[in-house]
Structure 1
Amino acid sequence: MDLNIIQKYFNLEILVYLSFTKEHTFRAFGSDGKNLPIGACVDDPIDKNSFYLITQKNDSPLKIKILSNQPGLSKASIKHYIFTQCFCNQITLESDPFPSTLMYAIKLAQKAVNVAEALKKNSPASFSGNAEDDARYCNKAIAFQNIKYQCMDIEDDKDEDVENVKKVKSRKTSKQN
């Protein structure tokens, strides 16, 4: 692919800051008294930069506030992008309550909290009380944990390969007899 084409259509200055929350009292119902369908969007009458997006079949929509929209994207394109991101988690065929990027951030933050709690419990002397140093220590521990799991996966794959070779050899010897 030609680099000039990429540079022509790829704009590094596209930056949109959004705020998400489900902690609000807003409820929206259709004319039949039932919940709005998934994908429905209701603009906030008070704040022109806020809207509510129905991401699941419950009565608690996701409130989205556009904090910064440097490229001037339309509200409709932002709504569409956020709604499609609610289907990217790949756990179920139904939509998630939050866009996938936010779900991944929540999971990563929870993992960091779990690692920090485990490290404090098992080796309290390694924590200095300085938040920056403790964060560096937790990041190293998370990286080590991920490397350990990857190594375990590689070792498991090697074991499976050995088992498969043994099965193939046993089939060959049984056919020759």
Structure 2
Amino acid sequence: MDLNIIQKHFNLEILVYLSFTKEHTFRAFGSDGKNLPIGACIDDPIDKNSFYLITQKNDSPLKIRILSNQPGLSKALIKHYIFTQCFCNQITLESDPFPSTLMYAMKLAQKAVNVIEALKKNSPASFSGNAEDNARYCNKAIAFQNIKYQCMDIEDDDKDEDVENVKKVKSRKTSKQN
């Protein structure tokens, strides 16, 4: 994904672009053979832009890779911010495996998948009829749901596409009311 495209669509002064994964083989234990304490951070010796953060009491840390750090924030500040976000989900007093923004994205993606499945089942006419469009939107939701970073195409015609979808929804609503 081109960073210039992201900057064009998101006009923010601070842009730090990160990728998260728990799907790796790295395990971390203390010198006594027990799990490391929550909040422990291990820098990746191979990649200076990656680090592992222990977010829960288990041996599988969260791998974080800094893809872009435009304002030049320190790695310690980024680590601290991510770790504090693991306590913001407000469901339990313990930390979550992922930062709250990622947890909310997962929940929204799951809700989108559930809505799409319900629409397919209950009112198939509500879809555009173009299987490729429907599959693309489902795939985007599933990609966020699985916490896998995927380069999703951000095209200039997305805005036009959204306008067309709004027109279709409005026309369906007016035709149902008549």
TM-score interval, normalised by the smaller of the two chains: 0.5 to 0.7
Conserved 8 A contact 1:35-1:57: yes
Q: Give the 3 Å change call, closer, same or farther, for CA 72–11 of structure 1 in structure 2.
A: farther
Conserved 8 A contact 2:28-2:59: yes
Displacement of 1:91 after TM fit? Answer: 0.6
Conserved 8 A contact 1:51-1:64: yes
Conserved 8 A contact 1:49-1:66: yes
Residue matched to 1:22: 22
Q: Give the 3 Å change call, closer, same or farther, for CA 163–150 of structure 1 in structure 2.
A: farther
Which has the higher mean CA deviation after the structures are superposed, 157-166 or 80-89? 157-166
Q: Which runs of 5+ in 1 are unaligned?
A: none
Identity %: 96
Displacement of 1:119 after TM fit? Answer: 0.3
2:107 and 2:66 map into 1 onto residues whose CA distance is 23
1:84 and 1:15 map into 2 onto residues whose CA distance is 18
Displacement of 1:26 after TM fit? Answer: 0.2
Conserved 8 A contact 1:87-1:99: yes
The two structures have a TM-score, normalised by structure 1, of 0.68
Query: Which structure shows the bigger proportion of residues in helix conformation?
Result: 1
Q: 1:115-165: CA deviations, max 9, x gaps?
A: 000000011122224379659999999999999999999999999999999
Q: Considering Cα pairs closer than 8 Å and 6+ residues apart, tell me whether 1 or 2 has the greater RCO.
A: 2
Q: Which has the larger radius of gyration?
A: 1
* RMSD (Å) for aligned C-alpha atoms: 14.2
Report runs of 4+ in structure 1 exceeding 6 Å deviation: 1-11, 135-177
The two structures have a TM-score, normalised by structure 2, of 0.68
Conserved 8 A contact 2:41-2:54: yes
Conserved 8 A contact 1:38-1:57: yes
